[in-house]
Structure 1
Amino acid sequence: MGQNSSSSYPQVILVGLDSAGKSTLLARLLTGKVMETSPTVGFNVGTLDLDKKTSLTVWDVGGQQCMRANWKYYLDDCKALVFVVDSSDPARMPEAQKALKKVLSYERLQGVPLMVLANKKDLPNSKTIREISTQLDLPSFSDRLWEIQACSAVQGLGLQQAFISVNKMIRKS
């Protein structure tokens, strides 16, 4: 953590269904290590340094059903939304699609860029980003910049690149 107050960096909100791997992903980004996590009640927050000049404040908000109604309280200064899905759990894609559409319907997120992270790509039964993009109906989000990237929080694959892309989207929006 740097000396600067977290509010001086662009705010990125990390949401998704419970067990998608948000806290593992954030811990891996911030510490470079895989940590045992438990379901998030409330939120975790950290400052992610992408390079010497660029940092993002990343909020990981709990994804259990009972917590999702609280997502809207974290959106005030949101510059990008990162939606994490478990790419190895196709049974929950309809629920993920519904949660994503709901959070994107909030006025605070109008025009805010979206990054979908298809996590757990290291698992043998994980779906492709094309399959996930279709299941989440991402092409319908024509009113905002969006990208989808595969990643593995456990292996650390694709995380840094994804957040570099998030930062580029913030600059464009």
Structure 2
Amino acid sequence: MGLLALIKKMKKQSNKDLRILLLGLDNAGKTTILKKLASEDINHITPTQGFNIKTVQSSGFRLNVWDIGGQRKIRPYWRNYFENTDVLIYVIDSADRKRFDETGEQLGDLLDEDKLAGIPVLVFANKQDLLSAASASEIAENLNLHKIRDRKWQIQACSATTGEGISVCNKINPVNRILLMSIDWRFTSCCVYGGKNVGQLIIRESMICISEYSYLGLDLIS
């Protein structure tokens, strides 16, 4: 069932909750992103040793976001939180190139999990405010995201500290992107200009332009 059909079904019910799982390596910026989405102060962030839960309201829906610690000793317990996940958000430190292989392996393991089979994935390429940060397209290529064919996916360049890619235009903010990820969509184009990825998609009769930092999986045409 596509997200559009799912949302329609949910609107007929009293329960309009979506469960979002927020994962990534330690120091990727998961908690900062979560606080930014919730419009909370980000000046005092400490490493997540267990998990945080925040509820973000959008379009009449409650997005219950589970932020799980990314330290190596905690990762084996990630699977305890897979049940009933609607969207997986995976955060990457775009400036920590030495850990690209490690974060790619972790993401690959997540995509192989039976309880996350077919779950849409939104990758946040965080810390774009740093000069050493890799672009979203570079990370997508490095992680072979274009080979993902069993689910919808998207990569979004962002900076949790500045709000770039998070506190974006009201029409397509990251919260709405999460809702859109399960909508039945079909792509009209996806091109690269000057190293930045530009995509468009049609949802029924409405044309929605994705920001220049969006990188959409072309193999996911429904």
With normalisation by structure 2, the TM-score equals 0.71
Between Structure 1 and Structure 2, whose CA radius of gyration is higher?
2
Contact 2:18 2:61 survives alignment (8 Å):
no
Contact 2:89 2:124 survives alignment (8 Å):
yes
Contact 1:113 1:146 survives alignment (8 Å):
yes
Q: Determine the structure 2 residue equivalent to 1:164.
A: 176
Contact 2:26 2:71 survives alignment (8 Å):
yes
Whose relative contact order is higher, 1 or 2, with alpha carbons under 8 Å and at least 6 apart?
1
Find 1:15's aligned residue among 17, 23, 31.
23
Q: Determine the structure 2 residue equivalent to 1:76.
A: 83
| Structure 2 CA distance for aligned equivalents of residues 110 and 32 of structure 1 | 32
Structure 1: where are the runs of 5+ without partners?
1-6
Q: Determine the structure 2 residue equivalent to 1:129.
A: 136
Q: More helix per residue: 1 or 2?
A: 1
Contact 1:24 1:36 survives alignment (8 Å):
no
Q: Determine the structure 1 residue equivalent to 2:200.
A: none
Taking the TM superposition and a 5 Å limit, the aligned residue runs for 1:27-66 are 27-51=35-59, 53-66=60-73
- Confirm or deny that 1:107 pairs with 2:90: no
Contact 2:16 2:61 survives alignment (8 Å):
no
The sequence identity of aligned pairs, in percent, is 36
Q: Determine the structure 2 residue equivalent to 1:3.
A: none
RMSD between aligned residues: 1.6
- The aligned amino acid for 1:99 is Q
Q: Which portions of structure 1, spanning 4 or more consecutive aligned residues, are displaced by more than 4 angstroms? A: none
Taking the TM superposition and a 5 Å limit, the aligned residue runs for 1:84-103 are 84-103=91-110
* Pairwise CA distance, 1:109: 0.7
Q: Determine the structure 1 residue equivalent to 2:218.
A: none
Write the deviation string for residues 42-86 of structure 1: whole angstroms up to 9, x where unpaired.
1001111123x1331111100001111111111101001000000
* Pairwise CA distance, 1:8: 4.8
Three-state SS of the structure 1 residue aligned to 2:48 is: coil
- Confirm or deny that 1:141 pairs with 2:148: yes
Q: How many residues align?
A: 166
Q: More strand per residue: 1 or 2?
A: 2
Q: Determine the structure 1 residue equivalent to 2:205.
A: none
Contact 1:32 1:156 survives alignment (8 Å):
no
Write the deviation string for residues 9-59 of structure 1: whole angstroms up to 9, x where unpaired.
1101000000000011111211343232111111001111123x1331111
| Structure 2 CA distance for aligned equivalents of residues 139 and 164 of structure 1 | 23
Contact 1:27 1:35 survives alignment (8 Å):
no
Q: Do the aligned partners of residues 156 and 33 (structure 1) sit closer, same or farther apart at CA in structure 2, a change above 3 Å counting?
A: farther
Write the deviation string for residues 80-119 of structure 1: whole angstroms up to 9, x where unpaired.
1000000111111000000001111110111100000000
Contact 1:87 1:121 survives alignment (8 Å):
yes
Contact 2:159 2:165 survives alignment (8 Å):
yes
